[in-house]
Amino acid sequence: MMVGLTGTPGTGKSSVAAELERRGHRVVHLVDTVQPYILEEDRARQTMVVDTDRWVAGFEPVDGIIEGHLAHLIPCDLVVVLRCRPDVLRRRLEVRGYPGAKIAENVEAEALDLILIETLDEHPAEHVLEVDTTDLSIEDCAGLVERFISGELPPSCGSIDWTDYLETGL
Ligand SMILES: Nc1ncnc2c1ncn2[C@@H]1O[C@H](COP(=O)(O)OP(=O)(O)OP(=O)(O)O)[C@@H](O)[C@H]1O
């Protein structure tokens, strides 16, 4: 089974994936697979521009967990979307020393549910679990992912509304 672990930067994908790896799951990090598909470096946004169509077409399916903010673009069997309340996400990204514009862009994307919307463009809701990491430990998040994969936890998404964080200007 191929499981995507996606979310806005800072929502905890790498941390949760590391915990799942520690628990014996096979994890593939998308950052290790995009190198041949990088078109250019976007210096202002401190990020790489990836030819996502070619990358998706060239992706070899794996039996395991695919971690990265493009994971929902792959034809996974299940997708977990990690979420983080925008004010807390802002703090997580500030700690990283990201430029203000990059923080604002990611915080706004999170408040607008962009990754979830993209996920539901590609996958039926019955294959999707949304996890609000804001008040959960990394171990708890990993536990929810495990229970979703095993079928113990049903799919669930769409109950988060952080539009207030847009109106208050964060
Ligand atoms: N559930 C959590 N509770 C508290 N802090 C968390 C949680 N998950 C992640 N963090 C913290 O948030 C920060 C960002 O986490 P992480 O690097 O795992 O995010 P990411 O989604 O993989 O980001 P990127 O896409 O940029 O790699 C880290 O400092 C991590 O310790």
**Closest ligand 1 atom to the C-alpha of 31?**
27
102 known ligand binder: no
pLDDT at 168: 58
Beta-sheet strands, E only, within 1-140: 2-7, 27-29, 38-42, 47-50, 64-67, 78-83, 128-132
User: pTM (2 decimals)?
Assistant: 0.94
pLDDT at 26: 98
Neighbours of 155 (CB within 10 A): 16
Q: 15 in ligand 1 pocket by Cβ < 6 Å?
A: yes
90 CA from centroid of ligand 1 (Å) = 11
Beta-sheet strands, E only, within the chain: 2-7, 27-29, 38-42, 47-50, 64-67, 78-83, 128-132
Closest residue by Cα to atom 8, ligand 1, is 12
pLDDT at 167: 64
**Is CATH 3.40.50.300 what the domain over 2-167 is classified as, yes or no?**
yes
d(CA 81, CA 73): 12
Q: 86 in ligand 1 pocket by Cβ < 6 Å?
A: no
Q: 11 in ligand 1 pocket by Cβ < 6 Å?
A: yes
Closest residue by Cα to atom 26, ligand 1, is 9
pLDDT at 43: 83
Tell me the domain boundaries of the chain.
2-167
116-160 tens-digit pLDDT: 999 999 999 999 999 999 999 999 999 999 999 999 999 999 999
Computed from CA positions of residues 148, 153, 158, 159, in that sequence, does the dihedral angle turn out positive or negative?
A: negative
23-77 tens-digit pLDDT: 999 999 999 999 999 999 888 777 889 999 999 999 999 999 999 999 999 999 9
